[in-house]
Amino acid sequence: MMMPLSFAPRILAFDTSTVRGSVALLEGSKMQAEFRLQSVQTHSRQLLNSVDFLLGRIGWNLGDVNLVSVGNGPGSFTGIRIGIATALGIAHSLSIPFVEISGLDALAHKVCHLDGRIGAVMDAHRSQAFYGEYEAKNGRIRQTQKPVLLDISSLEHHLRGRHLYLVGDPDICESVGSPATSLMWPRQVAVDLFLAVEIGKLAFISRRKWRSGESIAAEPMYIRPPDALKKKTQ
């Protein structure tokens, strides 16, 4: 089902790719409500209950939703699967479009008002980081480097002295960048790391990525292969 270009869809957005899980409801690009799920445990039991709670809080029914968007990684293999499977299930049951958004894209979009080069960083644990690079202009971002998995030491070498804004996990940003008040580059920009609202906003402006129908297929962004897969190939 396609919607008129002038229509502001009611969007259900959520992200379970990291311990900072979140759910948001938006009307067009305007956030209506948000719920945060920070937990070291799996988000599978909390997610649907959180969606129901948030819908009830603002007087929407699930059937009022016109678009479902989900963070597709990088992050926890299990968390990504939970989020995508839930989003696809909702999209199929309601016959509405589905869109998946990278968490790195969402991080970069949080600082899209800063024209210039942006580096987005997510903690991958094991002394590693997921890293993506973007160009921001006129409130929009464009990916300029495919996301990669790097050792922290390699990331520091890759970024040293480069003229870009660094956004993401604060511990990693502090180890590889300079404070926002410094004249040195790269320069840290502190942001909220819960991503559902930004995932919803990016979904709204990424109409060409919307998919619908019975044959929707997701494209999770694992970057690091799941441990079970690595064991099979050894």
Q: Is the pTM of this model over 0.95?
A: no
Collapsing DSSP to helix, strand or coil, 179 comes out as coil
Q: What is the model's pLDDT at position 228?
A: 43
Beta bridge partners of 149: 130
Alpha-carbon distance of 60 to 62, in angstroms, equals: 7
Q: What is the model's pLDDT at position 126?
A: 92
Q: What is the model's pLDDT at position 41?
A: 61
Q: What is the model's pLDDT at position 226?
A: 60
Q: What is the model's pLDDT at position 219?
A: 87
Which residue numbers in the chain have pLDDT < 50? 228-234
Alpha-carbon distance of 46 to 21, in angstroms, equals: 10
Alpha-carbon distance of 187 to 153, in angstroms, equals: 17
Instruction: Concatenate the DSSP letters of all residues of 76-129 into one string.
Output: -HHHHHHHHHHHHHHHHHHT--EEEE-HHHHHHHTTTTS-EEEEEEEEEETTEE
H or E element at residue 12: strand 10-15
Which residue shows structure tokens 């079970």?
228
Residue ranges of domains in the chain, CATH in brackets? 10-103+194-226 (3.30.420.40), 112-188 (3.30.420.40)
CA 18 to chain centroid, in Å, comes to 10
Evaluate whether 32 touches 54 at the Cβ level (below 8 Å). no
Q: What is the model's pLDDT at position 6?
A: 59
Torsion angle (degrees, nearest 10) of CA 173, 176, 178, 180? -20
